[in-house]
Amino acid sequence: MKPLLFGVLGCSLVLAVQALYSASDDVIELTPSNFNREVIQSDSLWLVEFYAPWCGHCRNLAPDWKKAATALKGIVKVGAVDADQHKSLGGQYGVRGFPTIKIFGANKNKPEEYQGGRSSQAIVDGAMNALRNLVKERLSGRSGGSDYKQSGGGGSSGGNKKDVVELTDDNFDKMVLDSDDVWLVEFFAPWCGHCKNLEPEWAAAATAVKEQTKGKVRLGAVDATVHQAVSGRYGIRGFPTIKIFRKGEEPEDYQGGRTRGDIIEKALDLFSDNAPPPELLEILSEDVLKKTCEDSQLCIIAVLPHILDTGAAGRNSYLDVMVKMAEKYKKKMWGWLWTEAGAQMELESSLGIGGFGYPAMAAINTRKMKFALLRGSFSETGIHEFLRELSVGRGSTATLGGGVMPKIHTVEPWDGKDGQLPVEEDYDLSDVELDDFRDEL
């Protein structure tokens, strides 16, 4: 795998990288458009790697993954998902790090985590063990599948967790309209073929969305042939019809695709719209910088003037600008940090900021050790233009000094007050005779 070349100008921190696998490999490329058909509806055992092209461990795994795929050809399916590109698919299966390997066996909706080694032999051994377990389950009469079923007369019922909420004429207002949560509601008819096709997608999406949004976005279903009052209220004429409900707003029609990936992606967008902006943190220690930047694709860092130069009001005006921009770009899930000029000199030096030009701002990609500097004004307009350029793949970047994160000092947090000059020690000269000084001279 060869990274795309880029120049000093016209490149982005969010660099495109070639995929780790190609059509000539025995590894099957999986995307939201084919995942359901290839994996979920398949009777085969699948090993699926969720990777990111920029991930070093993923690049190291790729040769062994290809070798294992060739060895298992015709026995076990081996696939790969670029979860950096297809975030909804990775999010659906709770992928938090790369590479993550899942085994899709008897119950395709509940894959198991692969815990084995990363050599081709270890992968093949793990696949064969999983295959033996699958055969044993089939011999014993056990099988997997979705828990969510649409019944002929009682609406939709979930499994043990009931992640698809059954909605009725009696509970709809209380559950949906009075809720602070966002709802995606499917109106269905039990005899509807399209509804039956949607059923496993809706159920799988409900579970994933519940986990990803901590229950802040919920999926429900109304049997419109039974609960005709609520269905009539919203003018339901065809099936399935999906509507989005947000508190205090008129419901809107869902216009997206009908795969679980499409549904999850829309639900996460809705969640982002209603989620609070990321927290703006002062860099008080190495842990603050490390956690914020490693958990985010980009880390936006401001170096603000010393408190003696701006006072509390001036500093707060800069912080207010940052908070507004964090809100504007919250869907990006970037980290937002600030420090006072002179507090983290090594960081300033590595960014080429040190000693002048405050306030300053940099966007850092810690995975690539690349950064870009704000060249325009430290204002909503200037910062928006800076971040917009990065978002669309433009803007100049440089390598972080030394190619490593600089040393971060532990400092006390700002107390929110104006700064004060150091108090000089007073000397009592009342008992000193001036003649004594003349004699010494």
Q: Order of strands, edge to edge, in the sheet holding 398-399?
A: 280-282, 335-340, 299-304, 360-365, 370-373, 398-399
Residues 249-268: tens digit of each pLDDT: 999 999 989 998 889 889 88
Out of 33-37, 228-232, 407-411, 430-434, which region has the weakest mean confidence (pLDDT)?
430-434
Q: Quick one: pLDDT at residue 5?
A: 35
User: Residue 229 corresponds to which tokens in the numbers above?
Assistant: 């009052």
Lowest-pLDDT range, 10-19, 79-88, 105-114? Answer: 10-19
Tokens of 114: 């692969």
Which position has the token pair 């901590």? 214
Domains of the chain: 28-138 (3.40.30.10), 161-274 (3.40.30.10), 281-403 (3.40.30.10)
Rounded-to-integer distance, Cα 171 and Cα 189, Å: 19
Q: What is the pLDDT of residues 356-369, one digit of tens each?
A: 689 999 999 888 88
Residue 432 has pLDDT above 70, yes or no: no
- Residues found in the chain: 441
Active-site residues, by number, are 55, 58, 192, 195
Distance CA 36, CA 193 (A): 17
Q: Which of 5-9, 66-70, 146-150, 264-268 has the highest mean pLDDT?
A: 66-70
Phi-psi domain of 236 (left: phi exceeds 0; alpha: psi -120 through 50; beta: other): beta
**pLDDT tens figures, 301-357:** 999 999 999 999 999 999 999 999 998 888 777 899 999 999 999 999 999 886 668
Q: Does the predicted TM-score (pTM) go above 0.85? A: no
C-alpha span between 97 and 103 (Å, rounded): 16
- Whose tokens are 């040393």? That residue is 407
Mean pLDDT of 269-290: 87
CA-CA distances (angstroms) from residue 25 to 28, 30, 44, 328? 8, 13, 19, 42
Gyration radius of the chain's alpha carbons: 29
